[in-house]
Structure 1
Amino acid sequence: MKPEKDDAWLLKAYSDPDAVANYADGPRRFVPGLSDLHRMTGLLLAERVPENARVLVLGAGGGLELKALAEAHAGWTFVGVDPAAEMLTLAERMLGPLNARVTLQQGYIDDVSETAFDAAVCLLTLHFLDADERRRTEREIRRRLKPGAPFVAAHSSFPQADGARALWLSRYAAFAVASGVDPSLAESARANVDAKLRAITPEQDQAILEEAGFRDVALFYAAFTWRGWVGYA
C-alpha cells in the first residue's frame, strides 16, 4: 500500500505536527457514526475470531480504532501499521496502557511479515489508493489472514456519475458543518476530497474486494459518502 509519487501530499499532511495534534476531532466530525462504526467493526470480527485473536489494523495512525477495539475486546492483541511516524506516535499516546497489547509498525502492508492473523481492519484508508493498488493491497491483506478470517474495510465510496459526485460531496461538507466544523474548513476539505481522493462507486469497491479473494462480501455501513464492508478470507 505505497502511494504513488503524486500522493506525496498525503504522507506530508499526516506528518505535519499541527495536523496530527488536531487529528482526533476530525474523523468524528466528518464521518457520521464513527464510534458506531468502530463498535460494529468489533462485533463483526467477534463473530468469527477467538477470545485471544491477533488482529491486523492497516492505516492505524491516530489510534482511534485500535483504542475502541482494544477497550471492547480485552483478549485481543494487535499489529497497527501506518506509514506516518507522527501518526503512530499519536496512536501510542491515544492508547496509553493499552499499548501493552499493541505492536505499532511504521510502513505499508508489504512491510508486515507476520501472517496467520485472525482478522484484519482497514478504516478510512483505502480511498487514498487507485483501483489497482487497492486490489493489490487487499490481496496482500488476505494473504496474511487465516482461512475464513474476517476483514472489515470502510472508507469514502459513493456514486460518481451524472452530477452525483458533486451532490454527495456537498452533503459531506454539510454534515461537517452541522457537526461544528467551520464552514470555510469544511469547504476546503470538500475541495481537497474532490481534487485528490480516489473515491469510486460502492459497486466497484465491492467488486475489488471480491477480486482480491474475499468471500461473502456484504455492506454493513452506509453514511453519506462513506461505506463499510465485511468479507472473509
Structure 2
Amino acid sequence: MNEEITFNAKMVLAYDANTRISIPTYDFLFTMAQSYFRAQLGEKAASLLVIGAGGGNELSAWGPSNPKWTFTGVDPSAEMLAMAKNKTVQLGMESRVQLIQGTIDDVPYPDSKYDAASCILVLHFINDEQEKLKLLRSIKEHLKPGAPFVLVSAYGDRHDAELRNRLHIWKSFFLDVGYESAKVEEMGNTIMTKVSFLSEPKIEQLLREAGFTHIGRFHSTGLFGGWICHAE
C-alpha cells in the first residue's frame, strides 16, 4: 500500500471515528433504517440508491443480511469511494454494488426505478436551500411510487436556544472521550459556521415540495435527526 492510499485510508477512518462520537447512536441508526426498509420491501429483491455512499457504511450495514438487495452508491469523493469499494470486496458483494463518483446528476435513470433510497449526512453540506430541494427532487424522481426514503441531516434553527442546548450536548460527547475543551470549542464554532442548518419544519417542507409523503422523524441525537417518508 503506497503512502497516498495509506493517508486516505487513515483520513476516512478518522472521519468514521469522529462521526461515531458526534452521533453516538450512529450504528443503531443504520439498524433502524434497515428495519424500516425491510418493513416496506418485505422479502423481495430490491434496488437501493445510496446518496453519500463513500466509506461504505450503508453497504456493510445492510448488504450482508439482505442478500436480495442491490445497491447503487454515489459520492463525490474518490477517497471515500475507494473505502466503500474495499468494503464491497471484503464482503463479497461486488456483483450487487455499483459505485459512481459524482453527484446524483451522474446517476443514470434505470429502466426500472429504485425500490428505496437513503441520504445520510449529506444534506447539511449543501448551503443553498434550492440546491437542497433539487437534490431531494432528483432522489424522488429516481424512486418508484411509494418507495421508502431515509434522510439524516443536521437540523435546527440557528437563532433558537434549543439548537444551542443541543450544541452543548454535542460538545459533551467529545469531552467525554478525552478531547480538550479548547479543541471542542473550536469544533463547535466550525460546525455552526460551516454546516447548513435548517429547522425541522423546513426540512419537512422541502421533503413535501420534493414529492415525499408520510414524513416522520424516527431519530435524533445531538445535532442530527433522521426522517422516514415515501415517494409519491
CA distance in structure 1 between the aligned counterparts of 2:178 and 2:52, rounded to whole angstroms: 26
8 Å Cα contact 1:55-1:77 kept in structure 2: yes
Give the Å deviation of 1:210. Answer: 0.8
> Which segment drifts farther, 136-145 or 123-132?
123-132
Identify if the C-alpha distance between structure 1 residues 99 and 23 changes in structure 2 by more than 3 Å, giving closer, same or farther.
Answer: farther
Report the CA distance between 1:46 and its aligned residue: 1.3
The answer as to 2:215 corresponding to 1:223 is no
Amino acid in structure 1 at the alignment position of 2:18: G
Q: Return the letter of the residue paired with 1:207.
A: Q
Q: Deviations over 1:57-76 (max 9, x none)?
A: 00011111221011231211
Tell me if 1:24 matches 2:16: yes
Unaligned runs of 5+ in 1: 1-15
Superposed, which structure 2 residues align to 1:49-198 within 5 Å? 49-50=41-42, 51-95=44-88, 96=90, 97-115=92-110, 116-129=113-126, 130-198=128-196
Of 21, 27, 36, 1:44 maps to 36
Query: Amino acid of the residue matched to residue 145 of structure 2?
Result: P
Task: Name the larger-Rg structure.
Answer: 2
CA distance in structure 2 between the aligned counterparts of 1:169 and 1:162, rounded to whole angstroms? 11
What TM-score results when the alignment is normalised by the length of structure 1?
Answer: 0.87
Name the SS for the 1:47 alignment partner. Answer: helix
Worse overlay, 42-51 or 183-192: 183-192
**CA deviation vs aligned residue, 1:151-186 (integer Å, no higher than 9, x gap):** 100111124224443332222121232245454543
Once the two structures are superposed, what CA deviation does each residue of 1:126-165 show, in whole Å capped at 9, x if it has no partner?
A: 1111321111100000000001000100111124224443
- Indicate the percent of aligned positions where both proteins have the same amino acid: 33
Q: CA RMSD in A?
A: 1.8
8 Å contact from structure 2 (residues 157, 197) kept in 1: no
Structure-1 residue corresponding to 2:3: none
Amino acid at match of 1:19: M
Q: Which runs of 5+ in 2 are unaligned?
A: 1-6
- Aligned residues of 1:214 and 1:231 also touching (Cα < 8 A): yes
